[in-house]
Amino acid sequence: YYMKKIITCMALACVMALCCTAQESEQDLTAKYDAALLAAGTPAPDFKLVTPDGDTLTLKDFRGKYLVLDLWAIWCKDCIAALPHVEAAFERFRDKDVMFLGMSLDDNKDNWVKGIKDYRLEYLHGSGLKKWRRPDIATAYAIDWIPTIYIIDPQGKVVLGTISVDKAVKTLERITAGK
């Protein structure tokens, strides 16, 4: 009887330790990738993207407003999992002078446009339609993992670079407090 209790307690302790380790590992991974991104205060690199309709977008088009850059790709499972959270953030902050731009790192326009429609993404989207490790934008924005989110201030400087939608939302809450 006591041996069963001891074994059960040890098993429970092992499960708890594994859960805590997994949580710490996820936090460590987020911190690792966030640390490699452009630092706050850095001028955001300019970009030139094409919308699904063929219009051209550059960073200068968003001057005067906060801009959330959501770097993603339709083939990226982590990106797809984050899309509903990014869309919810867009809905929440769209009336507070915050613009959202989905920057696709896809190279297939049909798949990219289909993804925007399938996931009912209402915010603006653009792409260079190049492989994700090759676009100048991925290099300029120090992208080693997607999804990645940047928040750019109205003057074109980085406020935050992160792989965490929650962290981006907390920053947007702070920025838009009182608006």
Give the span between the Cα atoms of 13 and 53, in whole angstroms: 56
Specify burial of residue 16 (Cβ count, 10 A radius: 0-12, 13-18, 19+). Answer: exposed
Reported confidence tier of residue 11, pLDDT bands at 50, 70, 90: low
pLDDT given for residue 82 in this prediction: 95
Residues of the chain with pLDDT > 90, as a percent, come to 62
Distances (CA, A) of 68 to 8, 19, 42, 87: 48, 32, 15, 11
Q: Give the sign of the dihedral formed by CA 78, CA 83, CA 85, CA 89.
A: positive
pLDDT given for residue 22 in this prediction: 46
pLDDT digits (tens, 9 = 90+) for 104-159: 988 899 999 999 999 999 999 999 887 655 557 778 888 888 999 999 999 999 99
Q: At residue 94, what are phi and psi to the nearest 5 degrees? A: -60, -30
pLDDT given for residue 34 in this prediction: 78
Give the span between the Cα atoms of 151 and 40, in whole angstroms: 9
pLDDT digits (tens, 9 = 90+) for 16-25: 555 544 444 5
The total number of residues shown for the chain amounts to: 179
pLDDT given for residue 143 in this prediction: 84
Closest CA to 71 of 162, 174, 6: 162
Reported confidence tier of residue 74, pLDDT bands at 50, 70, 90: very high
Alpha-helix residue ranges (DSSP H) falling in the chain: 2-36, 77-93, 109-118, 136-140, 165-176
> Is the separation of the CB atoms in 49 and 70 below 8 Å?
no
pLDDT given for residue 7 in this prediction: 59
pLDDT digits (tens, 9 = 90+) for 17-63: 555 444 445 566 677 777 878 899 999 999 999 999 999 999 999 99
Give the span between the Cα atoms of 106 and 125, in whole angstroms: 12
pLDDT given for residue 8 in this prediction: 57
